[in-house]
Every structure is written in structure tokens, then in C-alpha cells.
Copies of this chain bind each other. A is one copy, B any other.
Amino acid sequence: MDQVEDSADKGGAGADEGEPTHSRIDTGTLGKAIAVLDIVASADQPMRFTDILALSDQPRGTLHRQLSNLVEEGLLSLGRDHSYSVGIRLLKFAARAWAGNQFRVIAEPHLRALHDLTGETVHLGVLRGNEVIYLDKVESRQAVRMYSQIGNASPVYCTGVGKAGLSALPDADLRTVVATIKFRRFTDSTLTTPDALLKEIEVIRASGNAYDREEHEPGIRCVAAPIYSADRSFVGGLSVTGPAYRISMELLESWAVLVRNAAGAIMDDMGARLGPRT
């Protein structure tokens, strides 16, 4: 009952995942099956066989068997209109992943404390390739639905948690990850080039805080700070987010130290609970 997440890299097949850090080991049949699962999961509508065939590089017969196996296992669901979507068995697995995640458990009280201090929404996330996956969220008005953010994968280059995480990576890994990013402009402020991003990472490294200046969603800004293990095999971050009309950049900047402190406290607790060194 002590471990956080290790680096765990994986390149999505059709989509836009990254392969950071190490060399990439062949996962054979399983890898191909999960790549197919990822294609379906990355689409925002149920896909028909031919759609998947176009994104996959598998021949018809092979793909069909892979899909059938995934359906049989409950990882995919096949509708009567022959459309595939992600299966509910994954909910069961995810519920366990969430409840058992030590990083999340350790961080939780600190997220609450930070929320109490600022009154705004607090997010916790980890880096996975060139995406950040949100592990937890604390907010007052429970307007937004449950899975709204938890489990959601967002780009690293235009989120506070993402950029904070990147700033904690060793240069080699950072470059590897950045190379896999397919930049897309979400708002006027979105950084859209590797250079602009790397330049900003330098600033974040110096200050210890990352900002999202309405780069992902218009009207939404946040301050974030990185959280990482000593050997950087695990990298994540936390952030305080709010609407631009209520949260000025000045106010946000006044919270920066609180966010850094919370991140520090979480890392201290991790060190204490997970034993010293790698």
C-alpha cells in the first residue's frame, strides 16, 4: 500500500499520445488491442467498423477479431447499429484505480485546504505522455457533473497542471514529449509552437508556478504548481481555477505561493509515506 504512479508511457495509435522517457517496449497482442480501444475512446461519437478500420493500420479480418474480443471482454460495447463505444466494465476498473491511487489519497486533504483558502476550484492531475489526466477536483458549487473533469485528458501545452508538469521533467524527456504534441489553437492565447512552449517552461521553472491565461477555454484562468517524485518517474501538478471575470491575474498571482506550498506539502507527505529515494 505504498506507491504512486510510475512513468507509464504509451503511444496512442491513431490519436495523439506521446511516448516520453524510455524506449518503448513491445506489448504485442495486448498493445494492439488497447490501441484499438484507444481509437474508440478518443472519438467523441460511437464509431462504426469502417471508421475504425480507417484509423487503425490493421487488416479487416484482424481488426474485426480484435474488436470482437474487446466487446466480449466488456471493454467495448457494440450497439445494434453496429457502432462501437467504450464499455462499462472500464468504469469498474477506474473506480478501483481512483480509490486506490495513493497520490490522490495523499493529496486530497491539501486540495481541500487550498480550496478553503481560495474559495475556487482546485484540480489535481498527472502527466501521461502529452496529456494531463485529472485525478481529483474540489469545488464548492457542485454544478458540474461528477466525471466532468476526473479522468478527463487534456493537452499539456494549454493547461496549468500540464505546463507545471512539463516544467518538472528533465530536459531530455521534456523535448521528447514536446515533439509529440500536435498544437491546436483553442483560444487567442493558446501557445501554438514548441518554441513558445519551451520558453514558457523556462519561466515556470524559475518561478515555480504555471499559469493558464485563458489558453484552453476562454474566460477560464488558473495558477498551478508541479508535484513530482525525486527521480521524476512520476510527474503531476495541482491548480486553482476560476473565471476571468471574477479572478484577476493579480489575485491569481497572490495565490501562487499558496499553490506552491500545497504542492510542497504533498511532496513532503509522499516522501514520508512512500519511503526515501526511488
Contact = CB atoms under 8 A, between A and B. Distances in A.
Interface of A: 1-6, 8-10, 25, 27-31, 33-34, 37, 41-42, 44-46, 66, 68-75, 77-81, 83, 85-102, 126, 128, 131, 133, 135, 137, 142, 146-147, 150-153, 274-275, 278
B69 A31 contact: yes
A77 B8 CA distance: 7
A150 B95 contact: yes
Nearest to A34: B73
A37 to B, nearest CB: 7
B91 A5 contact: no
30 contacts: A1-B83, A2-B46, A2-B79, A3-B46, A3-B85, A4-B77, A5-B87, A6-B78, A8-B71, A8-B74, A8-B77, A10-B72, A10-B73, A10-B74, A27-B69, A27-B73, A28-B69, A30-B30, A30-B73, A31-B73, A42-B96, A45-B100, A80-B274, A80-B278, A85-B97, A88-B126, A88-B128, A92-B152, A95-B151, A99-B147
Counting chain B CB atoms within 10 Å of each CB, the highest count among A5, A6, A90 belongs to: A90
Contacts of A135: 88, 91
A96 B41 contact: yes
Contacts of A10: 72-74, 89
A276 B191 CA distance: 48
Q: How many copies does the complex hold?
A: 2
A6 B81 CA distance: 11
Contacts of A87: 5, 8, 97
Nearest to A76: B8
A71 B3 contact: no
Contacts of A70: 30
B31 A88 contact: no
A128 to B, nearest CB: 7
Given A41-B92, A85-B3, A97-B86, A146 B150 contact: yes
A15 B152 CA distance: 29
A106 to B, nearest CB: 13
A58 B263 CA distance: 42
A275 B79 CA distance: 11
Nearest to A38: B93
Nearest to A147: B98
A166 B1 CA distance: 36
A90 to B, nearest CB: 5
A77 to B, nearest CB: 5
Contacts of A34: 73, 75
Contacts of A72: 8-10, 25, 27, 31
